């Protein structure tokens, strides 16, 4: 009996420890921006925390959580695993979470949400209860990628010039001369012989032109130099409490930038 009691007590302690390590943070806007609310225990009604139907993105720092669109874990519920959920809109839970609680770890759930992004995924996300300040942006520079060479292969028609066949010319001249020599006599025979040789040479040369002439297609590699004018990121410089800071951002930023008390950027 005592042994069974110890086992139950150990399991209860393990469950409590698992829930203690569990933590969820809700963010007011997509991309872990705006106000944040964090807890490591179940919340039956987020209205009491001022965060009812306000969450648009979530970060799970530990455990597995069930979030529901009605208080008291009613209505439509989904299971979220450890990781970062950049937007709840794709799963139909944007601005709809009213209650949440840590749950027992399982391999699969019938109401499980799509897989989260690896964690951490957003270095500059606002932390719960973190005070935010405005720092003045003094310089913004676009940084473009390097230019390079773009190559491709295309099919091209090639016309090969015909080449005369010397052997055919010689053979044709001999045959033509022999045939011409058999015609007439005297001076006429000599002229016929010469004419036959010339005609035979022309015929033999044309016969040679059929070897090697014509057209065909082949793969040709072509290249051109490309110039990249699209910024890869923006190098932003801002001043906070007299100290200059720099950050690389995916979009240009002017005026001011949100930072914490250490001058670290927050979005």
Which range scores top for mean pLDDT: 121-135, 164-178, 210-224, 245-259?
A: 245-259
The residue from 130, 158, 173 where one domain ends is 130
Same domain for 110 and 6, yes or no, is yes
Instruction: Assess whether pLDDT exceeds 60 at residue 8.
Output: no
Residue 264 resides in a domain: no
pLDDT of residue 208: 46
Residue 190 resides in a domain: yes
Q: What is the mean pLDDT of residues 89-114?
A: 92
Same domain for 90 and 173, yes or no, is no
Residue 202 resides in a domain: yes
pLDDT of residue 225: 80
The residue from 130, 162, 195 where one domain ends is 130
Q: How many domains does the chain have?
A: 3
Same domain for 113 and 158, yes or no, is no
Residue 266 resides in a domain: no
Residue 64 resides in a domain: yes
Q: Which residue would you say has higher pLDDT here, 140 or 212?
A: 140
- pLDDT exceeding 70 applies to what percent of the chain? 67
Q: Which domain holds residue 186?
A: 150-225
pLDDT of residue 123: 61
Residue 125 resides in a domain: yes
Same domain for 45 and 116, yes or no, is yes
Residue 47 resides in a domain: yes
pLDDT of residue 182: 54
* Residue-wise pLDDT tens digits, 132-179: 899 999 998 888 766 677 788 888 887 776 655 555 545 444 454 444
Same domain for 18 and 43, yes or no, is yes
Same domain for 105 and 154, yes or no, is no
Same domain for 176 and 239, yes or no, is no
pLDDT of residue 213: 58
Identify the weakest region by mean pLDDT among 100-109, 186-195, 248-257.
186-195
Same domain for 140 and 120, yes or no, is no
Tell me the CA distances in angstroms from 117 to 83, 105, 114, 243, one per residue in order.
6, 19, 10, 34
Same domain for 239 and 205, yes or no, is no
Same domain for 250 and 139, yes or no, is yes
Instruction: Assess whether pLDDT exceeds 50 at residue 92.
Output: yes
pLDDT of residue 77: 96
Same domain for 28 and 93, yes or no, is yes
**CATH code of the domain in which 85 resides:** 2.60.20.10
Residue 154 resides in a domain: yes
* Residue-wise pLDDT tens digits, 184-203: 455 545 544 444 544 444 45
* Residue-wise pLDDT tens digits, 61-87: 889 999 999 999 999 999 999 888 989
Mean pLDDT of the chain: 75
Same domain for 25 and 115, yes or no, is yes
């Amino acid at each position: 009996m005592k042994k069974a009691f110890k086992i139950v007590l150990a399991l209860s302690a393990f469950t409590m420890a698992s829930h203690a390590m569990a933590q969820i943070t809700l963010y007011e806007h997509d991309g872990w921006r705006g106000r944040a609310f964090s807890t490591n225990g179940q919340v039956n009604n987020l209205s009491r925390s001022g965060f009812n139907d306000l969450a648009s993105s979530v970060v799970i720092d530990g455990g597995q959580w069930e979030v529901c669109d009605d208080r008291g874990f009613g209505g439509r519920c989904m299971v979220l695993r450890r990781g970062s959920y950049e937007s709840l809109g794709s799963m139909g839970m944007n601005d709809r979470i009213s209650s949440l609680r840590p749950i027992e770890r399982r391999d699969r759930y019938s109401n499980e949400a799509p897989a989260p992004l690896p964690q951490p995924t957003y270095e500059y996300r606002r932390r719960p209860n973190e005070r935010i300040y405005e720092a003045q942006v003094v310089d913004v520079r676009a940084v473009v990628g390097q230019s390079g060479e773009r190559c491709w292969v295309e099919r091209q028609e090639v016309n090969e010039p015909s080449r005369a066949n010397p052997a055919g010319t010689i053979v044709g001249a001999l045959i033509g001369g022999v045939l011409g020599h058999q015609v007439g006599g005297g001076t006429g025979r000599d002229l016929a012989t010469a004419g036959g040789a010339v005609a035979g040479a022309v015929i033999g040369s044309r016969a040679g032109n059929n070897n090697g002439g014509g057209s065909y297609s082949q793969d040709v590699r072509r290249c051109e130099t490309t110039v990249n004018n699209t910024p890869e990121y923006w190098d932003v410089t801002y001043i906070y409490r007299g100290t200059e800071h720099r950050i690389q951002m995916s979009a240009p930023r002017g005026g001011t930038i949100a930072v914490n008390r250490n001058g670290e950027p927050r979005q």
